[in-house]
Structure 1
Amino acid sequence: MTDLTHDLIHQNMHQRQSIGQLVEPAPNAQQLQYAFAAALTAPDHHRLKPTRFVVIEPEQRAAFGELLSQALTDLGESEAAQIERVKNHPFRAPLLVLALTEFKDHPKVPHFEQTLSSGAAIQNFLLSLQAQGFASMWRSGAVIESKHFKQALGLKPTDLISGIIYIGTAAKTIAPRQSIQVSDYVSTWQAK
């Protein structure tokens, strides 16, 4: 690997951040497949592949918004303004992808490891999209706990909706990330 390639990879990681205002264009099918392939290289103990992705095409956003509002109602929300707001969430971006964790029972791979594997897969997905020139926002919210929402997606009650990923092109330039003082978060262990 050349120094330039190494620098570009690290620059991509350091610049990644959630973008709230997303517009067209969104990735095409080939670009999405490239990102999904990157996602599925994430660390995965015993290769259980617990991570699943569901693409919400642009023409399905209204129906998906209805599902989100029903999920919120299922959780006890009754305020009309809040329900309407959630119904419009899918229109924050031209394309949405649901990230799911379908847990597999395995004596050596607890569910928390599978959750971490899905998180790594999602990060790979986001980094691949960014390297291809797209922006994204990874969200969750209360609706991911709705039994109605899980049933509509064909999930078991124990499965996890790891998030809704909003994808498109940044509507405007945002400020770069502030530098992080790495030493504030890293220490060296020594035996006593």
Structure 2
Amino acid sequence: MADLVTDTVHHNIHQRQSVGQLLEPAPSAEQLEKAFQAALTAPDHHRLKPTRFVVISADQRKMFGELLSDALADLGEADAVALERVKNHPARAPLLVLALTQFQPHAKVPHFEQVLSTGAAIQNLLLSLQAQGFSSIWRSGAVVESKLLKQSFGLAEDDLIAGIIYIGTAAKTITARSEIDTQNYVSYWKQ
């Protein structure tokens, strides 16, 4: 039984890919809750819980797109085409989730560890969604640095918007990922 579970977990990890064309259905509230529960089990030194998630529902996407456009303009973007393009980004998926890092002060837990904790939480979220039959893509871009956008979500200036996760059902079948030759990325320390 343990081998079957291990194989299933590894298969899910190996098959996870970013999917840019996402359609309905999106996860239900229960499925999303299951994914958030998985996300928040990520490694977290001293259990500071720096990771936050904000759900942008289908009916909020237009308003969120306008906020993204305003945030990009606040960063100095003046090109009307670029502003219109970012305004339409939320329409790429039926559900969006913002992943945030709200830094928690702690003498033994530097900011970089809290950022890594959020990254691990996002990966858990993506894997849980995939295990439930959904697809996703994790995006960021210059707009996540906007003070206006951060303020809109109650973040301090040094907090991070780690990304915008687009969630839904894949519009088309994605080719399976090739096996990775780990020899190019793994070495063993020799004294």
Given the alignment of the two structures, is residue 22 of structure 1 paired with residue 33 of structure 2, yes or no? no
| Aligned residue number for residue 124 of structure 1 | 124
Equivalenced residue count is 191
Q: Considering only aligned residues, what root-mean-square deviation do their CA atoms show, in Å?
A: 0.6
Cα distance in 2, alignment partners of residues 174 and 134 from structure 1: 13
Shift of 1:3: 1.2
Q: How does 1:70-85 map to 2 (within 5 A)?
A: 70-85=70-85
Runs of 5+ unmatched residues, structure 1: none
| Aligned residue number for residue 43 of structure 1 | 43
SS state at 1:88 partner: helix
Identical residues among aligned pairs (%) = 71
TM-score normalised over the length of structure 2 = 0.99
Given the alignment of the two structures, is residue 68 of structure 1 paired with residue 61 of structure 2, yes or no? no
Cα distance in 2, alignment partners of residues 150 and 7 from structure 1: 40
Letter in 1 for 2:129: L
Shift of 1:74: 0.4
| Aligned residue number for residue 148 of structure 2 | 148
Runs of 5+ unmatched residues, structure 2: none
| Aligned residue number for residue 168 of structure 1 | 168
Cα distance in 1, alignment partners of residues 162 and 85 from structure 2: 21
Letter in 2 for 1:33: E
Shift of 1:2: 2.0
Cα distance in 2, alignment partners of residues 162 and 83 from structure 1: 21
SS state at 1:99 partner: strand
Q: Deviations over 1:102-132 (max 9, x none)?
A: 0011100000000000000000000000000
Shift of 1:169: 0.2
Cα distance in 1, alignment partners of residues 151 and 6 from structure 2: 43
Deviating runs (4+, > 2 A) in structure 1? none
TM-score normalised over the length of structure 1 = 0.98
Letter in 1 for 2:171: A
Cα distance in 2, alignment partners of residues 160 and 152 from structure 1: 13
Q: Deviations over 1:39-67 (max 9, x none)?
A: 00000000000000000011000000000
